[in-house]
Amino acid sequence: MKRPILYITTSIVFLLLAVSFLGGTVFWRLFTGYEDLNIDGRPEIARTAVPVFADQWPSYGGDSGGSRYSAADQINLDNVEKLDVAWRYQTGAFEGREELIKRTAFEATPILVEDTLIFCTPFNDVIAIDPGDGHEKWRHDPEVALDGRPANDFTCRGVAYWKDQTATTERCASRIFMGTVDSRLIALDAKSGSLCAEFGEGGEVQIEPSISLRWPGEYQITSAPAITGDTVIIGSAISDNLRTVAPSGVVKAFDARTGAEKWSFDPVPRHPDDPARATWEDGSADRVGHANVWSSMSVDDERGLIFLPTSSASPDFYGGVRPGDNLYTNSVVALDGETGEVVWHFQTVHHDVWDYDVPAQPGAYQVWRDGKAHDVIAQVTKTGLVFVLDRETGEPFLPIEERAVPQGGAEGEKLSATQPFPVNTPPIVPNTVSPDDAFGITLWDKNICAAKIKKLRREGLFTPPSTQGTLVYPFTGGGANWGSAAFDAARNLLIVNMSNAGHAITLIPNEDAADITEVKDGAEIAPMEGAPYAMTRALLASPIMLPCTPPPWGVLAAVDLESGAIVWRKTFGTTRDLAPFGITLKTGTPNFGGPMITASGLIFIGAAMDNYLRAFDIESGEELWKGRLPAGGQATPMSYEWQGRQYVVIAAGGHGKSTTTPGDYVIAFALPEE
């Protein structure tokens, strides 16, 4: 054991000397062959008025379409370096729950409504604080079950706001809605935090799954509800890979006043008359579950449409029990907000066997082309691809084509021969790697990584899972994930952060997997009951737990949605809080959380596995500032102007599965007061 440790220590010293001598960016370009991308000469477009606001942030994604854009512009390129902490608030969420810290993720983005910042903790405490100094106004503890082993840890990304235009009394005339980890939909008075007793049963609606659960946390709600008109809509998060006959991912809509159910939509088409049922051969739609909407939905109030990002059917990594393309899974689905009827749909992955859910909020943006505004849906994906669709019809706004993909799945599998690819926008992160590309800081760990890669099937994106073991690259965490993207309509620029790492997925024949009876998240083992295989999933990493795939392991990119061109792409994140002794290397890191944009041309983002909130120039991708956080910033920031001062706010509480620093902070940054 001593010799490998000596090798590692020596290699780190060598690495630091090399970085110091060559300079970090130059060194990593030599080491990995990767270069940050900048395209010069992008044509200017006419700057247009953008219908956003500086003194509000009324939805989880900034607006109902998920632009994550603020008209606030007091903080700009010239003064951003002066940002400092204006106030900090601690939720106290871990008091009495200390043993659960490693099973939480503080992913919340506050909303600003009723002159108040409102957000949820991982345990679904809803807290209202003052936007100017962070003092607490009210809080509501729904007392969620703590013994439920929630499928996605204890997580709450956000709350939703609704105002009753016909209210005759002040109480509950404006409401905060939240879904919980024990699958309740809760309505609170926005001014006091008290339950709205006329909603459901005493202010709550219990969401019942389609079949009995194996344990209480198998089914939960983690993302903010969507609101359209007087309707509140929720999805669900369900434990993957336990079983084929699993809870269905039904999306449910309720009357915002009474809690009465208005409609439901199952992305797995159960009704014989649904035309999507033809894409499930042999009636297989009756034998599976999931396809749930676990991420954030978007709304187009003018058209009365709600846009769902659906996930894969159960189980994730074997589809022989569900032959066909499997609509409406892995799709953007546009529903009529009043009836729940399908208006259009677009599938990003046919017959998914890679856990390539649509993970991010569909971006309802307005793109300018040839002097004309076009309403689109822009969808970022785990595969690193970006699809841009016409919002009215779902037809491609930027061209998309079907391309042949690897075949030869496991016995009994029936893969799609092709998959959709955008024509104009190349993948944001790579999807192929060879043993010669293996990363290592020494010859020892590089060779181990090369051997791991060599053993795996690795024919590029959509290589099918196998008993040999398959490289799934990007890994099942993305590419993009729930942090979604941000959009600047005045520049036509989509900003997205993505991870760049690989998973080794191995199918285990049932006769060799008799002892695999439950999902073991720590070991990434799952039985996939009802399929002829169990599965294992492991990060493709070296003995010192660095990714075997070459850096950067995280990127931030800008895409021009008029043309589809990648305007710039930059390495995102450092090893500051990962490596021993605070060693800081510009390798990029996997990242969870998303970006937001201000009218002054700044991008703010946490997300990376070092504890910083950063600001970038939207035109060039240059990093202009970073502020130290007391815990991991695996959340999406927001910004607003309050009493003449602009604030940038982020939840800093870490992410259990990413092993970032835990905490319970909400931090506000601002310029010094004059």
Is residue 231 within 8 A of residue 253, CB to CB? The reply is yes
Would residue 535 count as lying in a domain? no
pLDDT band at 521 (very low <50, low <70, confident <90, very high): low
Question: Is residue 384 helix, strand or coil?
Answer: coil
Sign of the Cα torsion 270, 271, 272, 277 reads negative
Residue, of 17 and 42, whose pLDDT is higher? 42
| Residue 177 covered by a domain | yes
Of 224, 250, 273, which marks where a domain is finished?
224
Distance CA 34, CA 439 (A): 12
Q: Which of 594, 640, 586, 655 is nearest to 34 (CA)?
A: 586
In a domain, residue 358? The reply is: no
- Is residue 188 situated within a structural domain? yes
- For residue 658, being part of any structural domain is answered with no
Cα–Cα distance measured from residue 158 to residue 119, given in angstroms and rounded to the nearest whole number: 6
Q: Last residue of some domain: 196, 224, 252?
A: 224
- Residue 308 amino acid letter: L
Is 412 inside any structural domain?
no
Residues 116 and 205 reside in one and the same domain: yes
Residue type for 188, please?
L
Is the predicted pLDDT of residue 582 greater than 80, yes or no?
A: no
Q: 281, 272, 264, 428: which is closest to 350 by C-alpha?
A: 281
Query: Phi first, then psi: what are they for 319, rounded to 5°?
Result: -115, 10
Entry field: residues in the chain:
674
Structural element, H or E, at residue 671: none
Domain residues for the domain of 129 are 108-224
Mean pLDDT of 239-254: 95
Query: Token pair for residue 181?
Result: 């980890």
Q: Is 355 marked active-site?
A: yes
- pLDDT tens string 325-350: 999 999 999 999 999 999 999 999 99
Q: Which of 224, 250, 278 is the last residue of a domain?
A: 224
- According to the model, what pLDDT value does residue 522 have? 58
Residue range 182-209: mean pLDDT, rounded: 97
Q: Worst-scoring range by mean pLDDT, 104-108, 505-509, 576-580, 659-663?
A: 576-580
Indicate which CATH number applies to the domain containing 136.
2.40.10.480
> Catalytic pick from 182, 325, 352, 355?
355
Residues 594-637: tens digit of each pLDDT:
999 999 999 999 999 999 999 999 999 999 999 999 999 999 99
Claim to verify: residue 21 and residue 116 sit in the same structural domain:
no
pLDDT at 273 over 60: yes
Is 7 a domain residue? yes
Quote the number of domains for the chain. Answer: 2
* Same domain as 211, residue 120: yes
Q: Is residue 5 part of a domain?
A: yes
Residue 523 has pLDDT above 80, yes or no: no
pLDDT in tens, 42-72: 445 444 444 567 889 999 999 999 999 999 9
Report the first-to-last Cα separation within the chain, whole angstroms.
Answer: 59
Per-residue model confidence (pLDDT) at position 55? 87
